[in-house]
Amino acid sequence: MTDLPTPAPAARPWYISALLALLAVALLLGGAWVFARVRSPFPFYGTAYAPPVAAQPFRGTDQNGQPWAFQPGGTGRVTALFFGFTHCPNICPLSLAYLDRARRALPPEERARFEIVLVSVDPDRDTPARLKAYVDFFGKATGVRVPEPALSEVARAYGVAYQKADVQGPQNYQLNHTTATYLVDAAGRLRVLWDYTQLPQVDRVVRDIRYVLENPAP
């Protein structure tokens, strides 16, 4: 008796092959996501300091004319630190406005543990009285004047650059300056840096702040 040829297996339906391919892609992407989460526990919206680094302390005069000191880790608060000046035509007022919106979006208990600090890069014109009128207009923040040459040292410690531009007189000029905002946690560590173009995404900024409030650096 002649053996009959073994019939070829039925072809797999195309939709089964497509589903298996999609499953393989999903598993690959899921593995990459888990790996990324293990390496970076929280996907910050801003640029994360990895690892966090100690923020530098400094001293100045606040908007009420009182001596003021930034002691990172000494207040138990999370600080959004911004370097700007009151004659700034656009970036500084927008940055302060968006930061205050983020502050007001926090629950009351978290809001009490968060502060906004503006350090003036224009100590020649930014008197305490002018700083007070400025920060009060944009909400609740602390304005700080640091005289030269101490200001240069503070700016260098945070990687901030500033320079006079379009100088037309001793009191008539603009300033080019770094536009980043630095988020310092309650342990005194720099955790996140936001460029000013990121601040309008207030909900994402708030998520960064809340995560840092709940997770101080080790």
- What is the average per-residue pLDDT within 83-109? 96
Number of CB atoms found within 10 A of residue 99's CB = 25
- What is the average per-residue pLDDT within 162-171? 90
Q: Give pLDDT, residue 34.
A: 35
Q: Give pLDDT, residue 35.
A: 33
Mean residue pLDDT of the chain comes to 85
Nearest to 160 by CA among 176, 138, 177: 177
Do the Cβ atoms of 87 and 134 come closer than 8 Å?
no
Q: Using DSSP, state whether 43 is helix, strand or coil.
A: coil
* 5-14, 57-66, 120-129, 163-172: the lowest-pLDDT one: 5-14
> Which residues in 58-180 belong to E strands, given as ranges?
58-62, 67-70, 78-84, 114-120, 142-145, 162-169, 172-177
pTM of the model: 0.79
- At 50-72, the pLDDT tens digits run 999 999 999 999 999 999 999 99
Q: Give pLDDT, residue 216.
A: 76
C-alpha distances (whole Å) from 211 to each of 98, 155, 158, 167, 204 are 18, 26, 22, 42, 11
- At 17-30, the pLDDT tens digits run 444 444 443 333 33
Q: Give pLDDT, residue 218.
A: 66
Token representation of residue 195:
């460029």
Q: Give pLDDT, residue 74.
A: 85
